[in-house]
Amino acid sequence: MKRSGGRQASRGGEATVKAKKRELIEKGVKYCLAAYVDVHGVPKAKAVPVEHFERMMRGSELFTGAAIDGLGQGPNEDELAIFPDLGAVTQLPWRPDVAWCPGNLKFHQDPWPMCARTILSQQVARAAKMGFRVNLGIECEIYVVRRDGNGIVQANPKDVMPRAAYDVIGLLEELDWCDEIVRYMNQLGWDVHSFDHEDANSQFEFDFAYADVLTMADRYTLFRMMTKEIARRYGYEVTFMPKPWADKTGSGAHFNLSIEDLKTGKNLFGDSRDKRGCGLSKLAYQFVAGILAHGPAIAAVTCPIVNSYKRLVKTGSMTGFTWAPIYVSYGYNNRTNMMRVPWVRPEIEGPAGEQHGVYLSSARLECRAVDTACNPYLAAAIMLAAGLDGIEQKLDPGAPNQDNLYLVNEAELSRRKIKTLPRTLLEAVEAFAADSLGKKVFGEDLYNSFIDLKTREWWSYHNAVSQWEIDQYLVKF
């Protein structure tokens, strides 16, 4: 199976590092960003002149962990060092004098347990020991807005169609900046296969080829950086806030997951003999069962902010339904479930050996309970861990749910034992705290820090008096 790119050795010998330095200089790179992300998935970096590339790769750049959320340090402790991944060093096509160099944090040469990229790497290594390579594709939805005083308005004031999904005019009117982003994505080797105007006004989606899970987490981090900077050149802001408007569809970052044999590259999720009609293998069913078993706890990581839970509702968008999952369930090509099994059409790929880019019609699972605010490393880590647990424990998710679950009454949902995802960030954090998976994946320090950060975030929101309350109650009584 051909993939989009692929990880090289994370750190090479001195000769390999020197060769990469020469390559960067020849391509015009002046500065390297020694980078990582905080617990929220926000990128952090120091800019290093390329002449000091070897020192940077040996961990020269230090960071005071006490200044960053979720790194668990006090102001009295030694700094953390970033060790960039040589295989992930990337020249930025929109700023060709800069190279982005994501890596893993260490403390006195030891891996720092609260580093998000390290936490995902641990689950990747676990999968490899089981003989698996895990692939991930992320559907990248964004809103494009303009600042208007203290508020925001949609980027294109003419984009007012009530049912704007796949609108051609709305897409063509914003094609200049879309084209620039797609051009850079393809220069990076990401193989964009489509982009479109989404359900809401000034909302867009970009879809590109899957890759191994760690590479894709790196790419999603870079996608957010790139789109924000490019949009500002046009006077716009790209927002990864999942639900900037109450009456419009939210933005998801659906995870499309599959497992392949580490030695042969064969997709292990497909089985045309599947009696349940989803085209899935026993392994895939075990994987999805593991995710469903921990669904509410996973939501705290994949839908990690207060605003996330304004997306996970039945109604409220311009087209009636929100298209967001609210049930811990799965089904074939059914968008009302947390886990969807997409329709696979191998015939569209053409004759064997003539496909362009990555083969996109392999069996996979789509988790729809992921939004644009997630830390992609932590979200992928906890989802992968749950799926691998499902395989190890040989779990079974039961029969797929084929109904429009938005229309199924509560009594029937109860009879089927279909649970709902958390309704608020507080509910999600409580589910995360109560589930052993969180501590197993994050480690005790980050587990406790995450709960503390997110609980304080909830109460900061809850204790604020909103304009809605003023409008409703100021003179009512």
Average pLDDT of the segment spanning 114-140 = 98
pLDDT at 460: 98
What values do phi and psi take at 126, rounded to 5? Answer: -60, -45
CA distances (Å), origin 331, targets 278, 328, 395: 8, 11, 16
pLDDT at 3: 40
Closest Cα to residue 262, out of 357, 125, 161? 125
Q: How confident is the model at residue 355 (pLDDT cuts 50, 70, 90)?
A: low
Q: How confident is the model at residue 1 (pLDDT cuts 50, 70, 90)?
A: very low
Helix, strand, coil share of the chain (percent; to 5) = 40, 25, 40
- Pairing of β 327-332 and β 337-341: parallel
Instruction: Report the C-alpha gap between 93 and 105 in whole angstroms.
Output: 26
- The encoded tokens of residue 294 equal 């921990």
Average pLDDT of the segment spanning 140-158 = 95
| pLDDT value at 315 more than 50 | yes
SS3 31: strand
Instruction: Report the C-alpha gap between 102 and 27 in whole angstroms.
Output: 19
pLDDT at 349: 75
The Cβ of residue 131 has, within 10 Å, a number of other Cβ atoms equal to: 13
Q: How confident is the model at residue 12 (pLDDT cuts 50, 70, 90)?
A: low
| C-alpha dihedral (237, 222, 387, 1), degrees to nearest 10 | 120
- Only one residue has tokens 């790769």, namely 57
- Only one residue has tokens 């009594």, namely 411
pLDDT at 9: 40
Length of the chain: 477
| pLDDT value at 354 more than 90 | no
Instruction: Report the C-alpha gap between 308 and 63 in whole angstroms.
Output: 30
pLDDT at 14: 83
How much is the mean pLDDT over the chain? 93
Cβ distance 261 to 215 under 8 Å? Answer: no
Is residue 299 within a helix (H) or strand (E), and if so which, with residue range?
A: helix 295-302
Q: Which residues contact 258 (CB under 8 A, 6 or more apart)?
A: 134, 135, 210, 267, 268, 269, 362, 363, 364, 365
Average pLDDT of the segment spanning 37-44 = 97
The Cβ of residue 9 has, within 10 Å, a number of other Cβ atoms equal to: 10
Q: E strands of 31-94, at which residues? A: 31-37, 43-49, 62-63, 80-84, 90-92
